[in-house]
Amino acid sequence: MMNLRDCFPSLCSSGETRYNKDKILQGQGVDEPLSATGFKQADAAGLFLSNVKFTHVFSSDLLRAKQTAATIIGKNKFCKDLEIKYDARLRERKYGVAEGRPLTDLKAMAKAAGEQCPAFTPSGGETLDEVRERAKDFFEFLCQLAVEVEQKEREMHGAASRSSGTSEEQSVFPWTNHCSQPGLSSDNGGTSKILDANILVVSHGAYMRNWIGYFVSDLKCTLPENLTKSQLSSVSPNTGVSHFIIELQSGSRLEPEIRCVCLNQDSHLVDVGAECVAQKVF
């Protein structure tokens, strides 16, 4: 089997809307824009990621995610003009009749049904398994994308030139300054090696929690040593960033090996103010 070079997806949840602040469920049916605080959060995330040279950007097609993605890329040193591709598979979990209602209503519905959040599915909503299937489908698409990029590079430049190639401008990953494990091995103090696919994905809190759950339970993702169970099961704060390293092999099927470098990182919000680090309401 041929080893493929690493794929680096960075997952970022959308910024705050007024519904987040008021603890009202949005799901898919309430398509609110970012609040003033949400734009500040997106600006801060953009500065945090400004030295990362992304090769691809994908976003949920809901407005709050689209605005977050555009703000982040607008502050990037390398890829201000990179096309953002919108994908309905990245939408927040659908909450059916609970959308547009306070989170307390969802909890009351769950209690009346003898269930607990987040496992409870309100009428017209998506089950956790359905959300996970969307996440799995999109992740398999990303893996195939990385394979195709690698194949095109081989055709254009050849394996030898790729392995020895250099770039005048190197993107810098901020993870090592904030996370328990180093993000990338390099010979240049945190600067990146040339990548096949370095992907920014902007989505939503409940969706991302399900995606990460799929990584851990189904694909045996390696986690940072100091990560607690409560941190693993928590919803990302607005514009929280998670970063993964994925090593792919090609053959009859893709066999990804996944390592989580950091989960729900929000250090970029420290200078924005305490109000901007509030937990997300989906």
Q: How many CB atoms lie within 10 A of CB 100?
A: 15
Establish whether 134 is an annotated binding residue: no
Place of tokens 């097609």: 61
Q: Is the peptide bond before 182 cis (omega within 30 degrees of 0)?
A: no
β-strand partners of 198? 8
CA atoms of 11 and 239, how far apart (whole Å): 9
Establish whether 95 is an annotated binding residue: yes
Establish whether 93 is an annotated binding residue: yes
Establish whether 214 is an annotated binding residue: no
CA distances from 164 to 167, 202, 234 (A): 10, 32, 41
CA distances from 22 to 17, 25, 105, 119 (A): 9, 9, 13, 22
Tell me the binding residues for substrate.
64, 92-95
Tell me the binding residues.
64, 92-95
